[in-house]
Amino acid sequence: MSNIRTVLFDLDGTLADTAPDMAHALNELLKEEQRQPLPYEIIRPEVSHGAGALVKLGFGVTLGDKDFERLRQRFLTLYSENLCRHTRPFAGIEPLLQTLQQKHINWGVVTNKPAFLTDPLVASLKLAPAPVCVVSGDTTANRKPHPEPMLLACTQAGSQPRECLYVGDAERDIQAGKHAGMKTLVALFGYISKDETPRNWGADGMIRTPLEILDWLTGDE
């Protein structure tokens, strides 16, 4: 795949292991509401689906239900106060980015996380080289699985969609990448629940570690 000029990443569960801090925020909220905290292994698979999914997991309420929006906003506040306490890039991400730079391949982020969380989190990770684009869930009118944020990332990275690879850990990631005309990889190390079947998502490949991206990029050379 020597034609790839840009590698784009989902944030939660692909670029960074954000689950510890998001789980902490949910359990703090549960304690505030006089509920029992949830085990980490129950929370982790839901993290890629965002704040609403975590509120649903913790309280059994969904959009439109009484208290849902109050709980979601309070979760976001608690999370923003402890945004990068235990969050780290997944093992292999940092050497991967350095190798991509050596290959003259740039990189960026496309996430459904809102910018007020995404921007300080990406800054706190201090990844080098720095991303050429960071597209958040509220950067464009539509979020993944819509292709709009993917196409904006392409433009900002200076690449055509066919020159981009998108790596994510949720079905919406693969759908967004495919709709935009990109190659796609499933990050199996991310937040995928046992009842999900990523081999059925239609991705171009699946990886178990970030550094396997390099094997995939050079596979046809």
Q: What is the CA radius of gyration of the chain?
A: 17
Annotated active-site residue 195? The verdict is no
Helix residue ranges per DSSP H, the chain: 19-32, 40-43, 50-59, 68-81, 93-102, 115-125, 148-157, 171-180, 212-218
Q: Are 7 and 93 in contact (CB under 8 A)?
A: no
d(CA 37, CA 34): 9
Q: Write out the two tokens for 43.
A: 């929370």
Among the options 12, 17, 21, 173, which is catalytic? 12
Annotated active-site residue 10? The verdict is yes
Q: Are 126 and 93 in contact (CB under 8 A)?
A: no
Q: Phi/psi of residue 57, each to 5°?
A: -60, -45
Which amino acid would we find at residue 5?
R
Q: Are 180 and 155 in contact (CB under 8 A)?
A: no
Q: Which residues contact 181 (CB under 8 A, 6 or more apart)?
A: 147, 161, 162
Catalytic residues: 10, 12
